Chains A and B, each alone.
Chain A
C-alpha cells in the first residue's frame, strides 16, 4: 500500500513539475488562439495582434475558382503497380445527390451567405455563369447513404462544409465523409478509388483529372468541371511591406519585386491549389516549379513549408514573410487572432 501511495505521489510530482515549467514559459508562447472545439476556451485567450496584412487582392490573376467533379466509376483506375482495375466502387447516386444539392438554389444561397455574420465579409462568391441544378434529389437508401467527398483544406478549415453539409444530410438522410487535404492529395485519393466526388481549386490539376478520364458528366450538366463558386487569393505580408508590393502594377510584378529583393516568402510546397496558383505567379526566368531542385538556389528567401495554410500563415507572421493565401482562410486567421477556425 505504501508503495502504491509513493507511486501516485511521484506521478503527481511529475505532473506538477511539468505544469510549473509550462506556466513559466507561457510568455514564449508564440500563438495564442481561439479554438474550434470549444467556445468556452476562446474567452480564456489573450490574442496577439496579427501584423500580416492583405497587400494585394482582387487582381484578375488571383481569382480562386472552386469546382465540383464527380468521379467516373468507369475511369481507367490502376493499382499501385499500374495494373488496370475495373470493379472500383463509386457511389454515383450519392455523388449526384450532393452535387445537385450544392448547385441547387438552396445550396448555392447557403454557400454565398456563409461567413458574413462571423467575419463581416462574404468568404465565397457564386460565379455569374455557374451550373444550376433543379434536379430532384432522391432520399438516401442503405446502399447510397455514404458519400465520400475528397476536398481541399480551404473549404473545410474555413468552416464552409461544416455549415453546408448538415443541411443536406438532415434533409435527405445521407452521410458525407469529408477527406480533407491539399488539392493534389485530394485528387490522388480520388484516383485511388477512395472518393465519389471532389471539390478542389486548381484548374490545371482538374483538367488533367478530366483528361485522364476520371471525371464524369452528371445528368443535366454540360461539363465535368462544375466551377460554381470563387473567392480571391490574396498576397499577404508584413504591414511594413519592404518589397513595396502595394504599389506594384499587378500581382506578377509584386512577385517579381519579392524575388528581386529576396524578401522571405512562405510557399505551401504541397501541390495544393494555393501552391499551384503561387507557382504560376513567379517570373518565368526563375523557373520555380513543385520540384525541390527548381528552388534549390533560392533557399535564402524561398521557404517551402510543406504544411497546411494555417501553419504557413503562423510561419509568415513569425518571420515577417510574404505569403499567398486564399482570402477565406486569411480572414478566419485574423478574426481568431492568428489561428484558423476549424
Chain B
C-alpha cells in the first residue's frame, strides 16, 4: 500500500500521456453523464414528489427498482442494443464515449429522480398551502420550489457523480476499455488487476479517490454559497 501511494504520486508527477488520456476520458464521461442525468431527473423527481396523479405509485416503485439496477446489467443491455447485430447498429456507437455516457445516464437518472422525489414529497404539503395562501402562480411556484430544493440538488448531483465515476460494469461492457479511446480509471484498474499489477491498480484508485475528494469539496463550497 505504501508503495502504491508513492506510485500514485509519481504517476501524477510523471504526467504520463496515457494516464492523462484516461483521466480526460473519465472526466468527460462522468461529468457529462451526471449532468445530463441531473437535467432529466430533477424535473421528473419534483413532478413526482409534488403532484398527485393515478399511476404515480407504480412509477415510483418502478423507479426505485431501477435505482438498484446492477451497472453490468445496464451495460449488457446497451451492448446488445448497440452491437453490430443489435437494433441500433446503424448508429455505430458501440465502444465510443457517447454510448458510455448514454449507458451511465440510464443508470444514474433513476437515482436522481428517486432522491428528488423523496425530498420534495416531504415538503410538498406545507409548500402547497403556503403558495395557495400567498396566491402564487405556476411560475412563482416553480422558482420557489427550485430555491427550496437548491441544497438537495447539490447533494443529488454529488450522488450522481459518485455513481458515475465509480462504476465499472456499464462502461467496460459498452466502452470495451480500448486504449486511448474508451479506457477510464475504473476499467484501467480492472485491466491492471487482470495483468497482476495490483499496486498500479491501487495507485490509480488513490488518484480516483483524490479527484472525487476535490469534486466533493468544490460542490460542497458551492452548496454553501447557493443555499445561504
Task: Mark A residues whose CB is within 8 Å of B.
Answer: 3-4, 7-8, 11, 15, 19, 21-26, 28-33, 35-38, 40-41, 44-46, 77-80, 85, 87-90, 148, 153, 157, 177-180, 192-194, 307-314, 333, 338-342
With contact pairs A37-B16, A85-B85 given, residues A310 and B92 touching in the complex (Cβ less than 8 Å): no
CB distance from A184 to the nearest CB of B (A): 15
Instruction: Give the dominant DSSP class at B's interface.
Output: helix
Q: List 28 A-B pairs, Cβ < 8 Å.
A: A3-B224, A11-B213, A23-B2, A28-B1, A31-B199, A35-B7, A36-B200, A38-B11, A41-B14, A44-B10, A45-B3, A80-B80, A89-B84, A157-B195, A177-B95, A192-B80, A192-B84, A193-B84, A194-B95, A308-B193, A308-B194, A309-B195, A310-B194, A313-B196, A314-B196, A333-B196, A339-B200, A342-B192
Q: How far is the CA of A340 from the CA of B191 in the complex (A)?
A: 11
B220 within 8 A of A: yes
CB distance from A97 to the nearest CB of B (A): 19
Q: Which residues of A contact B5 (CB under 8 A)?
A: 19, 22-23
Q: Which residue of B lies closest to A270 (CB)?
A: B194
With contact pairs A19-B5, A26-B1, A29-B1 given, residues A342 and B197 touching in the complex (Cβ less than 8 Å): yes
B217 within 8 A of A: yes
B1 CB contact (under 8 Å) in A23, A89, A310 = A23
A11 CB contact (under 8 Å) in B87, B95, B192, B217 = B217
Q: Which residues of B contact A179 (CB under 8 A)?
A: 95, 176, 178
CB distance from A318 to the nearest CB of B (A): 11
Q: By the criterion CB–CB under 8 Å, are A79 and B196 in contact?
A: no
With contact pairs A33-B197, A37-B16, A80-B80 given, residues A177 and B7 touching in the complex (Cβ less than 8 Å): no
Q: Which residues of A contact B13 (CB under 8 A)?
A: 40
Scoring B4, B18, B95, B194 by chain A CB atoms within 10 A of each residue's CB, the highest score goes to: B194
8 A Cβ contacts from B77-112 to A: 79-80, 83-87, 89, 92, 94-95
Q: By the criterion CB–CB under 8 Å, are A22 and B1 in contact?
A: yes
CB distance from A42 to the nearest CB of B (A): 9
Q: Which residues of B contact A26 (CB under 8 A)?
A: 1-3
CB distance from B3 to the nearest CB of A (A): 5
Q: Which residues of A contact B220 (CB under 8 A)?
A: 7
Task: Mark B residues whose CB is within 8 Å of A.
Answer: 1-7, 10-11, 13-14, 16, 18-19, 79-80, 83-87, 89, 92, 94-95, 176-179, 181, 191-200, 213, 217, 220-221, 224
Q: Which residue of A lies closest to B214 (CB)?
A: A11
Q: How far is the CA of A88 from the CA of B197 in the complex (A)?
A: 37
Q: By the criterion CB–CB under 8 Å, are A311 and B194 in contact?
A: yes
Q: How far is the CA of A25 from the CA of B2 in the complex (A)?
A: 7
Scoring B5, B80, B85, B92 by chain A CB atoms within 10 A of each residue's CB, the highest score goes to: B85
Q: Which residues of A contact B199 (CB under 8 A)?
A: 29, 31-33, 35
CB distance from B11 to the nearest CB of A (A): 6
With contact pairs A31-B196, A35-B197, A40-B10 given, residues A193 and B18 touching in the complex (Cβ less than 8 Å): no
Q: By the criterion CB–CB under 8 Å, are A314 and B198 in contact?
A: yes
**10 nearest A-B residue pairs (beta carbon):** A193-B84, A308-B194, A26-B2, A310-B196, A310-B195, A22-B1, A340-B195, A314-B196, A23-B2, A85-B85
CB distance from A166 to the nearest CB of B (A): 11
- A sample of 4 more A-B contacts (CB under 8 A), given A23-B2, A40-B14, A88-B85, is A4-B221, A38-B10, A148-B95, A153-B194
Q: How far is the CA of A193 from the CA of B217 in the complex (A)?
A: 44
Q: How far is the CA of A30 from the CA of B197 in the complex (A)?
A: 11
Q: How far is the CA of A302 from the CA of B97 in the complex (A)?
A: 40
With contact pairs A26-B3, A37-B11 given, residues A193 and B196 touching in the complex (Cβ less than 8 Å): no
Q: How far is the CA of A3 from the CA of B198 in the complex (A)?
A: 38
Q: How far is the CA of A257 from the CA of B5 in the complex (A)?
A: 43
Q: How far is the CA of A194 from the CA of B11 in the complex (A)?
A: 33
Q: Which residues of B contact A85 (CB under 8 A)?
A: 85, 89
CB distance from B175 to the nearest CB of A (A): 10
